[in-house]
Amino acid sequence: MSKRSKVLVRLTGVAVLAMFFLTGCGGPYFPFFEEPPKQEIVSIADMPLGDAENGLALFMGKAHFEHEGPPCMGCHSVGENGILGGGAMGPNLTNATEVLDPTDILGVLTNNGPIISPVMKPIYTDAPLTVQEQADLLAFLEGSVGQPEADREWLVLGISLVGSIFGAAVFGFIYRNRLRTVRRALVKKAQEESL
Ligand code: HEC
């Protein structure tokens, strides 16, 4: 192969690798063609009117966020939202707007305030909420104040307990022979060595 074609082969390799990293590993974005979405931040006075019903749908994952962020109920509960409610990783938000003022809540949602959630920040930086979504969520939270909070901790505990026992039983069943044969082999080996 001539020196020139060797260089050409190498350059092609580098180009293919670069394409792979730029497109494949760059997530859903083609950095050349599309900028990742930017966080829109407006003050509470400039917020559009929120639609609490759409806020509920967004919170529960029945409506999708424009930039495809995960629904809040994955980590939060509000009132008694459906069986098993929401997740328990984040605080229950039923009375959040009583405790926090709206600016702080918007701050959490836009990662631009006195309260920043280290759990939410990376998620919603990649998938920022639009101003209308922020307004709808806020309206929903404001309308949820005073709702009875679902106390499903015992139910979650019960389900995880049953799950663990079931899991242990299944593993025990699958590995029942394996452990025995391993032990048998060890015993045999020890006996042979002590002879
Ligand atoms: C991946 C889990 C997760 C998701 C999804 C999530 N949150 Fe959170 N959120 C948290 C955690 C955890 C906290 C508590 C602060 C911390 O430890 O990061 C929090 C805190 C908050 C707070 C502040 C509450 C307080 O009392 O300080 C608000 C308000 C809030 N989240 C609203 C939302 C809304 C609205 C959504 C949906 C757009 C959402 N969160 C989605 C995990 C999540």
CB neighbours (10 Å) of residue 155?
Answer: 13
* CA triple 35-39-40, angle to 5 deg: 120
CA-to-CA dists, residue 12 to 22, 23, 24, 75, 116, angstroms: 15, 16, 17, 46, 45
**Per-residue confidence in pLDDT tens, the chain, 195 aa:** 788 888 888 888 787 777 766 665 555 555 556 678 899 999 999 999 999 999 999 999 999 999 999 999 999 999 877 556 778 889 999 999 999 999 999 999 999 989 999 999 999 999 999 999 999 999 999 999 988 876 666 666 777 788 888 888 887 777 777 767 777 888 888 888 887
Closest C-alpha among 19, 127, 32, 30 to residue 71: 127
CATH fold of 44-143 reads: Cytochrome Bc1 Complex; Chain D, domain 2 (1.10.760)
**Residue 151 neighbours by CB under 8 Å, 6+ apart:** none
Residues 3 and 15: their CA atoms lie apart, in Å, by: 19
**Ligand 1 pocket, residues with Cβ under 6 angstroms:** 70, 72, 74-76, 89-91, 93, 96, 99-100, 105, 108-109, 115, 117-120, 123, 129, 137
- For residue 160, the model assigns a pLDDT of 78
Domains in the chain: boundaries: 1-35, 44-143, 165-195
| Among 120, 130, 133, 136, residue to substitute to test ligand 1 (most atoms within 8 Å of Cβ) | 120
> Three-class SS of residue 51?
coil
CB neighbours (10 Å) of residue 140?
Answer: 24
Q: Find the 90 Cα to ligand 1 centroid distance in Å.
A: 5
CB neighbours (10 Å) of residue 26?
Answer: 14
Question: What's the predicted TM-score (pTM) here?
Answer: 0.69
Atom nearest to 141 CA in ligand 1: 35
Dihedral angle at the C-alpha atoms of 98, 103, 108, 112, nearest 10 degrees?
-160
